[in-house]
Amino acid sequence: MRITFELDAEFREMQGKGASRRLRHAGKVPAILYGGHLEPRQLAFNHQKLMTLVENEKLYSSIISINVGEEKQPVIIKDMQMHPAKSRVVHMDLQRVLENEVIRIHLPIHFKGEAAAPGVKTQGGVLAHRMSDVEVVCLPADLPEYLELDLTEMNINESKHLSDLPLPKGATCLLYTSPSPRDRTRSRMPSSA
């Protein structure tokens, strides 16, 4: 299991909206740690230290070591809530990682060779990405940082599908029956006269 980041945290005993508001006012971020066949625990992180990592794409698709006193716990970020108007983390949900149990995590898709694709370079096409990440199920040891899709051979009017995405050994892509709103693209149909 490859650990990419380390974060220091502290246990918090107070719960509720008022306690979370006081934590945020003191420069802390309230969080919940769950999973791993253990009881959920409330944590607090230093907001400044967390903000230095928020822009890094790897943070959301990596295993993070949470240090609380002498304890170290590998986790993944399941959800990070941001303030709607300010550059502030409001709350985090973390899931414990066990070496022998599969995890579900969203991995970013990196598109390689867009400019070199014949459909763009010589045929006048424009590439449109309907998805920028995909949910994957795998063991922590098989977790990649990202998935890479090669587009260098694409011609105009061709499509790539989730089945074309190369997955590492032991990883499975969860296919969506209905994509989330951010993964849909709108197409305008001509109105009938």
Condensed to tens digits (0 to 9), the pLDDT of residues 145-180 reads: 999 999 999 999 898 888 889 998 889 888 754 444
Average pLDDT of span 90-103: 94
This prediction has a pTM of 0.78
Higher pLDDT, 95 or 19: 95
16-38 pLDDT, tens digit each: 888 888 888 999 999 999 998 99
Nearest Cα neighbor of 168 from 127, 117, 107 is 107
49-93 pLDDT, tens digit each: 999 999 899 999 999 999 998 899 999 999 999 999 999 999 999
User: At residue 188, what is the residue type?
Assistant: R
Phi-psi sector, 27: left (phi>0), alpha (psi -120 to 50), beta: left
For CA atoms 35, 36, 39, 41, the dihedral sign is: negative
In the numeric block, which tokens belong to residue 112?
A: 């390689």
Q: Is 60 exceeded by the pLDDT of residue 13?
A: yes
Q: What is the mean pLDDT of the chain?
A: 86
Nearest Cα neighbor of 94 from 181, 9, 2, 191 is 9
109-125 pLDDT, tens digit each: 999 998 889 988 888 88
Q: Based on DSSP, count helices (H) and strands (E) in the chain, helices before strands.
A: 3, 10
Q: Is 60 exceeded by the pLDDT of residue 48?
A: yes
Residue 188: its pLDDT value, please? 35
In the numeric block, which tokens belong to residue 8?
A: 């220091």
